[in-house]
Amino acid sequence: MILEVKDLNVFYGAIHALQGISFHVEEGEIVTLIGANGAGKSTTLNTICGLIRPRSGHIIFRGQDITKTSADRIVKLGISQVPEGRKIFAPLTVQENLEMGAFTRNDKQGIQRSMERVFASFPRMKERLAQRGGTLSGGEQQMLAVSRGLMSDPKLLLLDEPSMGLAPILVEEIFEIIQEINRQGVSILLVEQNANMALQVAHRGYVLETGRIVLEGTAKELRENPQVKVAYLGG
Protein backbone atom coordinates (compact mmCIF):
# COMPACT_ATOMS: atom_id res chain seq x y z
CA MET A 1 0.00 0.00 0.00
CA ILE A 2 1.49 3.35 -1.01
CA LEU A 3 -1.01 5.66 0.72
CA GLU A 4 -3.41 5.17 3.62
CA VAL A 5 -5.66 7.93 4.94
CA LYS A 6 -7.20 7.09 8.32
CA ASP A 7 -10.16 8.87 9.92
CA LEU A 8 -9.12 12.31 8.63
CA ASN A 9 -10.91 15.35 10.06
CA VAL A 10 -10.28 18.83 8.65
CA PHE A 11 -11.91 22.08 9.71
CA TYR A 12 -12.07 25.55 8.15
CA GLY A 13 -12.93 27.53 11.25
CA ALA A 14 -16.23 26.04 12.44
CA ILE A 15 -16.85 24.23 9.13
CA HIS A 16 -16.15 20.49 9.32
CA ALA A 17 -14.80 20.04 5.77
CA LEU A 18 -13.60 16.43 6.01
CA GLN A 19 -15.54 14.23 8.39
CA GLY A 20 -13.54 11.15 9.34
CA ILE A 21 -12.66 9.98 5.83
CA SER A 22 -10.58 6.84 5.31
CA PHE A 23 -9.29 5.40 2.03
CA HIS A 24 -6.15 3.91 0.50
CA VAL A 25 -4.16 3.68 -2.72
CA GLU A 26 -2.30 0.48 -3.56
CA GLU A 27 1.08 0.56 -5.30
CA GLY A 28 0.53 0.97 -9.07
CA GLU A 29 -3.14 1.94 -8.85
CA ILE A 30 -5.15 4.83 -10.23
CA VAL A 31 -7.72 5.70 -7.56
CA THR A 32 -10.29 8.43 -8.18
CA LEU A 33 -12.24 10.64 -5.79
CA ILE A 34 -15.45 11.87 -7.38
CA GLY A 35 -18.04 14.26 -6.03
CA ALA A 36 -19.73 17.60 -6.53
CA ASN A 37 -18.13 20.99 -5.94
CA GLY A 38 -17.56 21.52 -2.23
CA ALA A 39 -17.50 17.81 -1.43
CA GLY A 40 -13.96 18.01 -0.02
CA LYS A 41 -11.94 16.58 -2.90
CA SER A 42 -9.33 19.35 -3.20
CA THR A 43 -9.18 19.68 0.59
CA THR A 44 -8.25 16.00 0.74
CA LEU A 45 -5.36 16.44 -1.71
CA ASN A 46 -4.12 19.62 -0.01
CA THR A 47 -4.14 17.85 3.36
CA ILE A 48 -2.15 14.90 1.99
CA CYS A 49 0.39 17.39 0.58
CA GLY A 50 0.85 19.15 3.91
CA LEU A 51 -0.75 22.42 2.77
CA ILE A 52 -3.61 21.97 5.28
CA ARG A 53 -3.22 20.52 8.77
CA PRO A 54 -5.93 18.07 9.88
CA ARG A 55 -7.57 18.35 13.28
CA SER A 56 -7.19 14.59 13.71
CA GLY A 57 -6.49 11.41 11.76
CA HIS A 58 -3.42 10.03 10.03
CA ILE A 59 -1.83 10.03 6.58
CA ILE A 60 0.55 7.11 5.98
CA PHE A 61 2.81 7.17 2.90
CA ARG A 62 4.89 4.06 2.17
CA GLY A 63 4.63 3.02 5.82
CA GLN A 64 5.60 6.45 7.23
CA ASP A 65 3.22 8.76 9.08
CA ILE A 66 3.44 12.10 7.24
CA THR A 67 0.47 13.79 8.95
CA LYS A 68 2.64 16.52 10.48
CA THR A 69 5.36 16.58 7.82
CA SER A 70 6.12 19.84 6.00
CA ALA A 71 4.98 20.26 2.39
CA ASP A 72 8.50 20.48 0.96
CA ARG A 73 9.56 17.32 2.80
CA ILE A 74 6.48 15.49 1.47
CA VAL A 75 7.57 16.34 -2.09
CA LYS A 76 11.04 14.96 -1.34
CA LEU A 77 9.48 11.76 0.02
CA GLY A 78 7.75 11.20 -3.34
CA ILE A 79 4.33 12.89 -3.47
CA SER A 80 3.67 15.53 -6.12
CA GLN A 81 0.45 17.47 -6.73
CA VAL A 82 -0.83 18.97 -9.97
CA PRO A 83 -3.21 21.61 -8.59
CA GLU A 84 -6.64 22.59 -9.83
CA GLY A 85 -6.43 25.46 -12.33
CA ARG A 86 -2.90 24.43 -13.44
CA LYS A 87 -1.15 27.27 -11.54
CA ILE A 88 1.86 27.26 -13.82
CA PHE A 89 4.35 30.13 -13.55
CA ALA A 90 2.99 32.23 -16.42
CA PRO A 91 5.99 34.63 -16.82
CA LEU A 92 8.51 31.76 -16.87
CA THR A 93 9.38 29.68 -19.92
CA VAL A 94 8.34 26.06 -20.24
CA GLN A 95 11.90 25.01 -19.41
CA GLU A 96 11.96 27.21 -16.31
CA ASN A 97 8.60 25.78 -15.18
CA LEU A 98 9.97 22.26 -15.55
CA GLU A 99 13.12 23.18 -13.63
CA MET A 100 10.94 24.56 -10.82
CA GLY A 101 9.28 21.14 -10.63
CA ALA A 102 12.69 19.66 -9.80
CA PHE A 103 13.47 22.35 -7.20
CA THR A 104 13.83 19.85 -4.35
CA ARG A 105 16.31 17.67 -6.29
CA ASN A 106 20.05 17.99 -6.80
CA ASP A 107 20.75 14.86 -8.89
CA LYS A 108 21.54 16.42 -12.27
CA GLN A 109 21.53 13.16 -14.22
CA GLY A 110 18.24 12.11 -12.63
CA ILE A 111 16.70 15.48 -13.43
CA GLN A 112 17.78 15.11 -17.06
CA ARG A 113 16.21 11.64 -17.19
CA SER A 114 12.98 13.09 -15.82
CA MET A 115 13.10 15.83 -18.46
CA GLU A 116 13.50 13.24 -21.23
CA ARG A 117 10.66 11.22 -19.77
CA VAL A 118 8.45 14.34 -19.83
CA PHE A 119 9.35 14.96 -23.48
CA ALA A 120 8.44 11.35 -24.33
CA SER A 121 4.98 11.80 -22.80
CA PHE A 122 4.51 15.42 -23.89
CA PRO A 123 6.43 16.08 -27.15
CA ARG A 124 4.87 19.54 -27.36
CA MET A 125 6.72 20.59 -24.25
CA LYS A 126 10.03 20.03 -26.01
CA GLU A 127 8.82 22.14 -28.93
CA ARG A 128 7.77 24.96 -26.56
CA LEU A 129 10.79 25.02 -24.23
CA ALA A 130 11.60 28.70 -24.78
CA GLN A 131 7.96 29.85 -24.79
CA ARG A 132 6.47 31.60 -21.76
CA GLY A 133 3.98 29.42 -19.91
CA GLY A 134 1.28 32.09 -19.97
CA THR A 135 1.23 32.13 -23.79
CA LEU A 136 0.45 28.40 -24.12
CA SER A 137 -3.04 27.16 -24.97
CA GLY A 138 -5.21 25.78 -22.15
CA GLY A 139 -4.43 22.21 -23.12
CA GLU A 140 -0.71 22.90 -23.31
CA GLN A 141 -0.79 24.62 -19.91
CA GLN A 142 -2.40 21.51 -18.42
CA MET A 143 0.29 19.36 -20.03
CA LEU A 144 2.92 21.68 -18.56
CA ALA A 145 1.33 21.44 -15.10
CA VAL A 146 1.42 17.62 -15.25
CA SER A 147 4.97 17.69 -16.65
CA ARG A 148 6.11 19.98 -13.83
CA GLY A 149 4.56 17.57 -11.32
CA LEU A 150 6.53 14.68 -12.83
CA MET A 151 9.84 16.55 -12.55
CA SER A 152 10.05 15.80 -8.82
CA ASP A 153 10.13 12.06 -9.74
CA PRO A 154 7.05 11.21 -7.67
CA LYS A 155 5.99 7.77 -6.53
CA LEU A 156 2.45 9.13 -6.03
CA LEU A 157 0.96 11.82 -8.28
CA LEU A 158 -2.07 13.77 -7.06
CA LEU A 159 -4.11 15.20 -9.94
CA ASP A 160 -6.76 17.84 -9.16
CA GLU A 161 -9.31 18.31 -11.96
CA PRO A 162 -6.93 17.73 -14.91
CA SER A 163 -9.76 17.98 -17.48
CA MET A 164 -11.20 21.27 -16.23
CA GLY A 165 -11.82 23.76 -19.04
CA LEU A 166 -10.46 21.54 -21.80
CA ALA A 167 -12.10 20.67 -25.13
CA PRO A 168 -13.36 17.06 -25.31
CA ILE A 169 -10.58 15.93 -27.67
CA LEU A 170 -7.97 17.29 -25.26
CA VAL A 171 -9.69 15.63 -22.32
CA GLU A 172 -9.22 12.25 -24.02
CA GLU A 173 -5.56 13.04 -24.71
CA ILE A 174 -4.89 14.05 -21.09
CA PHE A 175 -6.50 10.88 -19.75
CA GLU A 176 -4.52 8.71 -22.17
CA ILE A 177 -1.35 10.36 -20.85
CA ILE A 178 -2.48 9.77 -17.25
CA GLN A 179 -2.80 6.06 -18.04
CA GLU A 180 0.64 6.04 -19.66
CA ILE A 181 2.19 7.72 -16.60
CA ASN A 182 0.58 5.03 -14.46
CA ARG A 183 1.96 2.29 -16.71
CA GLN A 184 5.43 3.75 -16.10
CA GLY A 185 5.04 2.90 -12.41
CA VAL A 186 3.55 6.05 -10.86
CA SER A 187 0.56 5.54 -8.56
CA ILE A 188 -2.14 8.18 -9.06
CA LEU A 189 -4.83 9.73 -6.87
CA LEU A 190 -7.20 11.50 -9.25
CA VAL A 191 -9.78 14.13 -8.28
CA GLU A 192 -12.15 14.73 -11.17
CA GLN A 193 -15.64 16.10 -11.75
CA ASN A 194 -15.82 14.31 -15.10
CA ALA A 195 -16.81 11.06 -13.43
CA ASN A 196 -17.31 9.27 -16.76
CA MET A 197 -13.68 9.73 -17.74
CA ALA A 198 -12.32 9.20 -14.24
CA LEU A 199 -14.08 5.84 -13.89
CA GLN A 200 -12.85 4.76 -17.32
CA VAL A 201 -9.18 5.10 -16.35
CA ALA A 202 -9.27 4.35 -12.60
CA HIS A 203 -8.94 0.94 -10.97
CA ARG A 204 -11.01 1.93 -7.93
CA GLY A 205 -12.92 4.93 -6.69
CA TYR A 206 -14.54 6.70 -3.75
CA VAL A 207 -17.53 9.04 -3.81
CA LEU A 208 -17.29 12.09 -1.54
CA GLU A 209 -20.39 14.00 -0.45
CA THR A 210 -20.09 17.00 1.92
CA GLY A 211 -16.91 15.75 3.53
CA ARG A 212 -17.86 12.09 3.88
CA ILE A 213 -17.10 9.01 1.78
CA VAL A 214 -20.50 7.56 0.95
CA LEU A 215 -19.56 4.91 -1.63
CA GLU A 216 -16.49 2.98 -2.68
CA GLY A 217 -15.69 0.15 -5.05
CA THR A 218 -13.98 -0.85 -8.24
CA ALA A 219 -14.42 1.55 -11.15
CA LYS A 220 -16.73 -0.99 -12.79
CA GLU A 221 -18.88 -1.29 -9.65
CA LEU A 222 -19.22 2.48 -9.38
CA ARG A 223 -20.05 2.89 -13.08
CA GLU A 224 -22.87 0.38 -12.64
CA ASN A 225 -24.13 1.77 -9.32
CA PRO A 226 -27.60 3.34 -9.79
CA GLN A 227 -26.86 6.22 -7.36
CA VAL A 228 -23.62 7.07 -9.17
CA LYS A 229 -25.32 6.85 -12.55
CA VAL A 230 -28.02 9.32 -11.54
CA ALA A 231 -25.80 11.75 -9.62
CA TYR A 232 -22.59 11.77 -11.66
CA LEU A 233 -22.91 9.90 -14.96
CA GLY A 234 -26.04 11.50 -16.38
CA GLY A 235 -27.93 8.21 -16.24
Read off the pLDDT of residues 153-167 as tens digits, 9 standing for 90 and up.
999 999 999 988 888
CA distance 235 to 229: 5
Phi, psi of 44 (to 5 degrees): -60, -50
Kindly tell me the sign of the dihedral angle through the C-alpha atoms of 46, 18, 203, 169: negative
| Band (68; pLDDT cuts 50, 70, 90) | very high
Mean pLDDT of the chain: 93
* C-alpha dist (Å) from residue 180 to 37, 153, 184, 187, 204: 28, 15, 6, 11, 17
Tell me the pLDDT tens digit for each residue of 3-26: 999 999 999 999 999 999 999 999
pLDDT of residue 82: 92
Percentage of the chain exceeding pLDDT 70? 100
Give the model's confidence band at 54: pLDDT under 50 very low, under 70 low, under 90 confident, else very high.
very high
Q: Write out pLDDT tens, residues 184-198.
A: 999 999 999 889 999
pLDDT confidence of residue 180: 92
Average confidence (pLDDT) over 104-117: 90
The torsion region of residue 195 among left (phi > 0), alpha (psi -120 to 50) and beta comes to alpha
More confident residue, 104 or 130: 130
- pLDDT value at position 167? 84
Is 195:164 a contact under the CB 8 Å cutoff?
no
User: Under CATH, domain 1-78+156-235 is a member of which superfamily?
Assistant: P-loop containing nucleotide triphosphate hydrolases (3.40.50.300)
The span from the CA of 88 to the CA of 92, in Å, is 9
Does residue 87 carry a pLDDT above 90?
Answer: no
Distance CA 126, CA 195 (A): 31
- The structure's pTM equals 0.92
pLDDT of 193 reads 84
pLDDT at 164: 85
- Domain ranges for the chain: 1-78+156-235, 88-153
For 214-228, how does the pLDDT look when each residue is reduced to its tens digit (9 = 90+)? Answer: 999 999 999 999 999
Is the per-residue pLDDT at 85 higher than 80?
Answer: no
Q: How far apart are CA 169 and CA 212, in angstroms?
A: 33
Give the Cα separation of 203 and 183 in Å (integer).
12
Buried (b) or exposed (e) across 122-135, using 16+ Cβ within 10 A? beebeebeeebbee
- Confidence band for 235, pLDDT divided at 50, 70 and 90: low
3-state secondary structure 83-124: CCCCCCCCCCEHHHHHHHHCCCCCCHHHHHHHHHHHHHHCHH
Rounded to whole angstroms, the Cα distance separating 103 from 30 reads 26
State mean pLDDT over 140-148.
91
